[in-house]
Amino acid sequence: MTPQDQRNAEIIETAIRNIKNFVDFPNTIKMIRDLEDKIDCPEFWNNSEAAINIIKERDRLRNSVTAVQNLEAKFIDTVELIELAESEGDTQSVSEFSAALDGLTHEATTLQIESVLSGPHDAANCYVEINSGAGGTEAQDWAEMLARMYFRWAEKRGYSIEITDKTGGDEAGVKSITLNIKGLKAYGWLKKETGVHRLVRISPFDSNARRHTSFASVCVSPEIDNDIEIEINDSDLRIDTYRSSGAGGQHVNKTDSAVRITHFPTGIVSQSQIDRSQHRNREIAMNMLRSKLYALKLKEQEDATKNSQNKTDIAWGNQIRSYVLQPYQLVKDTRTGVEKGNAMAVLDGEINEFLESAISQYN
């Protein structure tokens, strides 16, 4: 094998070894067998709620084991094919199998990151709330660009995305938008995206073609299960209804179906206008509020002096990542130092390198 192939092989072998150690492979396999024994019992479905939870846990553990086993099998096969092609002097096949090995290196790196995502809610769906900050129309357009970035990233992972709330900008973009991203470990992957994101570009709204700096904030919270108790007193809430501002048909635009809930003790606001039913929008808004309050609780436990719901100024000096489109292209994460020169690819959802680095350093 070439020196590059050997380096890739070492990376993959190390990743597989680390994953197996981290998830305690032998014990995980034993846990899967124990859960399957429970599922095979005749009285298993006597408690349907408990049964569903057991099946979910079995599937979660089995998926983690299967992913590593599949990676290891593909790795062994690819190395053997490279060595066979080399022995036969088949340079074209060597090149193809080397490319496959390179692809497995990226797969191994991603799988190793996912094995770290073992927090209490890392496997959950999540809400991504984006608010425009300093910069007026520029910032509102930037907030919509960020929403598209996360939308494209989620699509590439096979996640489903639903817009639960959207307030349009004055001239373009959005003042705020909330995405409900559903998929395994959606929260774990995106939880470090909370913070201020800064954009530098030549403004498409400036007739003098001047360079502008815009800001938008991102807040990520887990979609929590109903069995997690979050104390919310009715007296602490203000519930407002209003007409939906987005498209959705005659009914949506002419009835007060949208719901906004304000939690007085924290100042947290959640709102939904996705459904034609006011009752359904209220249910969605309450679920979002519970998720935000829980995310706040988790953050307070992590750092008593900071929390993810604090209204940090969405302006200079607070950004976690800068996206520069002019006079050059560069996206740089101010926390991890990761940089990418192809800013347009990043805005098209290619953000895994930033996510992986943040998870590795701060998880």
Pick the closest to residue 217 from 234, 238, 233, 193 (CA basis). Answer: 193
| Alpha carbon distance 94, 81 (integer Å) | 8
| Alpha carbon distance 9, 15 (integer Å) | 10
Q: Positive or negative, the Cα torsion across 142, 146, 151, 157?
A: positive
Helix (H) or strand (E) holding 253: helix 250-254
Whether 123-363 and 3-116 are alike in CATH topology: the answer is no
Single-letter residue type at 102? D
pLDDT exceeds 80 at position 301: no
In terms of Cβ atoms closer than 10 Å to its own Cβ (0-12, 13-18, 19+), residue 298 is middle
Ranges of each domain in the chain: 3-116, 123-363
- The token pair that represents 56 in the structure block: 């979910």
- Which whole number is the average pLDDT over 7-27? 89
- The token pair that represents 127 in the structure block: 């809400």
- The token pair that represents 170 in the structure block: 């004055």
Which CATH homologous superfamily contains domain 3-116? Answer: Release factor (1.20.58.410)
Of all residues in the chain, the percent with pLDDT exceeding 90 is 49
In this prediction the pTM is: 0.72
Pick the CATH number of 123-363 from 2.40.30.10, 3.30.70.1660, 3.10.20.310, 3.30.70.2190: 3.30.70.1660
What's the maximum distance between 2 C-alpha atoms anywhere in the chain? 78
Q: Each residue of 127-179: pLDDT tens digit?
A: 999 999 877 889 999 999 999 999 999 999 999 999 988 888 888 899 999 99
Q: Each residue of 216-249: pLDDT tens digit?
A: 999 999 988 766 778 888 888 899 888 766 544 4
- The token pair that represents 325 in the structure block: 């489109």
Instruction: Output phi, psi for 352, to 5 deg.
Output: -60, -40
Identify the residue with better confidence: 206 or 178: 178
* Plot region of 176 (φ>0 → left; ψ -120 to 50 → alpha; else → beta): beta
